[in-house]
Amino acid sequence: MEGLASRLNPAKLAIRIQYWNAKKDCTQIMSSYICAMKGYDMARREVDTTREPGILVRWKLQRMLCTVSLLPRSSRPNRISLEAAVVVHTMCGGNFLRFALTLSFLGLGVGRGERSEPAEERAVITLLQQKLVLSQMHSQSPEERLHDAEPMSWLHFPKAGSSFINAMIHLPGVCPGMDNRTLGHDLLGDCWLTKWKAAVCPNACDPAAFVCPEHPFYEKHPTISNYSAQRGKLMAMFRDPDQRILSGYHDDDNNLAAIDYADYLEEDLRIQNCTYFGSDVPKRNLLDFAESWKGGMAYQIVTEHPVTQTLHPNRPSTTRDQAEEAARRVREGFAFVGISEEWDLSICLFHKMFGGVCEASNFVDTRPSSDGKSADSDYDTSVLMGWHDDLDELVYEAALSVFRKSLISFNVSHETCQECYRHAGFEV
C-alpha cells in the first residue's frame, strides 16, 4: 500500500485515507447503501422500461448520492458520489488496490460541501461511462481475451444475424482458410450456411479456435452441445423476440411459415440437396407460427440433445424454468453477447473485446428478409393482437443487461467506434 500511496497525489490521498479511516463502521454505511437501493427503485424500473445505458448509469449515481447524503454532514465530501460507493465496497471486504487505482484513474477531485453540483454529476456520469474498467476481464488484452474464449462456439438464433459469422471467422488465427473471403451467398450460393457447416468449416478453421457444429450439417440452427464444456466460450447475437418471430414469418425466400414446412424438415434428402424453398406455398396462421417459435432462443441455449430440428413446428415447448435457466446462462456463460438491433455497436464491441479489424463484411446483412427488412427496422407488432413471447423476453432482457454493461466497461459508443466504422468503409 505504501508503494502505491507514493504514486498518488499526496493531498488527495490524505483526504481519502482520513475519510476511509473515519468510516470503518460497515454496519452504518451498508445500511445507507440498502436505503439507497430501496430509494431508487423507481429509477431502476425506468431502466428496465427504457433500456437506455445512460439511465442505468444515472441510477447508479443516484444510489451513490443517497449513500453520501446519509453520512454525517461534517464528513460529507463534495464530488464524492462515485468514490463513496467504492469506499463502501472497499471497507466491507473489497480490494484497496482496485479502489485506489480507480480513484487515480478517474482523477476526481475531492472537496467539502453538502452536495454535488449538477454539472459535476454529469461529469461523473461521463467519466463512469467512459472509464469504469474494474474487472479482471477488462484488464486483459484482446489477444488474451480471445485465447480464453477459444474454441469459440457460435449459437445462431434464426433471424438474429447470420452475418456475425464473418466477424468471428476473421479474427486472427481462427479460420486461416477464410482469410480475405466473405462467407455468404456470393461465395457458396444457395444454402450457404448448410454448405459452410458440411464442407468448409472443418477444412478452413482451427478446431482449437472455433467449434464447427456437431449436429447434422443440415441443421441450420443447432442447439448447444455441452454447456459445461462451452461455458465461457459461447457467442451470439440476440434479437427482440417478437421482432425475430415476425421476421421469420415474413422471410418469403425460405418461407419458414409454409404450411408443409414440417414435412420438408422430415425429408432429409430435400434438406441435404437444398432443393426446397417453398416460396409459393401458403403460410400458416401468424399466431400459430408465433406460438411454435415461442421460447426459441431459450430452447437453443438449454437443449443439449434435441429430438427435432430447431425450426420444426412441433419441437418441444419451452418451459418458464428453462427460459430462466437460459437467461442465467446468458448472464454467466457467454464470452460475447451482441444485440441485432444494435448491430454496428455490437460489431465494434466485438472487436474491442477480441481484436481483429472491422471489415465491411461484418456489417453486411447476408440474409435479409425478402422485403428488405433487417434488425434495424421494426415490424408492426400490432398484428400479433397482444400475443407476446414472454419466455424469450427473459433471455433477451438478460442479453440486453450484459450488452449494456459491456458497452460501458469497454468504452464503446458511436463516437469511440468511428475508427472501426471508417476502416469498414462507412460512418455512423
d(CA 292, CA 286): 10
pLDDT band at 426 (very low <50, low <70, confident <90, very high): confident
Asked if the model's pLDDT at residue 117 lies above 50, the reply is: no
Q: DSSP assignment, residue 152?
A: B
pLDDT at 301 (0 to 100): 98
* CA dist., res. 409 & res. 417, Å (int): 14
pLDDT at 389: 97
Asked whether the beta carbons of 355 and 172 are under 8 A apart, the reply is yes
All three cell numbers of 21: 479511516
Helices (H), 10-113: 10-22, 26-39, 41-50, 53-69, 81-91, 96-106
Please give the average per-residue pLDDT across 298-302, as a whole number: 97
39 has a pLDDT exceeding 60: no
**How far, in Å, CA of 316 to CA of 293, rounded?**
10
Q: What is the pLDDT at residue 206?
A: 96
**pLDDT value at residue 272:** 60
pLDDT digits (tens, 9 = 90+) for 209-244: 999 876 665 677 899 999 999 999 999 999 999 999
Three-state DSSP class for residue 83: helix
pTM over cut 0.75: no
Find which of 3-17, 55-69, 72-86, 320-334 is predicted with most confidence, using mean pLDDT. Answer: 320-334
Give me the percent of the chain exceeding a pLDDT of 90.
44
- Tell me what pLDDT residue 277 has: 60
Q: Please indicate whether residue 328 or residue 73 has the higher confidence score (pLDDT).
A: 328
Say if residue 404's pLDDT is above 80: yes
pLDDT of residue 191: 79
Residue 258 pairs in a beta bridge with: 283
How much is the mean pLDDT over the chain? Answer: 75
pLDDT of residue 287: 97
CA distance 174 to 176: 6
- For the segment 98-127, the average pLDDT, to the nearest whole number, is 43
Euclidean distance between CA atoms 79 and 82, whole angstroms: 8
- The answer, yes or no, to whether residue 25 has pLDDT greater than 70, is no
Give 335-374 pLDDT, tens digit per residue: 999 999 999 999 999 999 999 999 998 887 644 444 444 4
pLDDT higher than threshold 60 for residue 87: no
pLDDT recorded at residue 193: 83
Q: Are 68 and 36 in contact (CB under 8 A)?
A: no
| Predicted pLDDT of residue 160 | 94
- Cis before 368 (ω within 30): no
List pLDDT tens digits, range 259-285: 888 887 777 656 666 666 667 789 999
Average pLDDT over residues 121-134: 45
| pLDDT at site 40 | 42
Looking at residue 124, its pLDDT comes to: 47
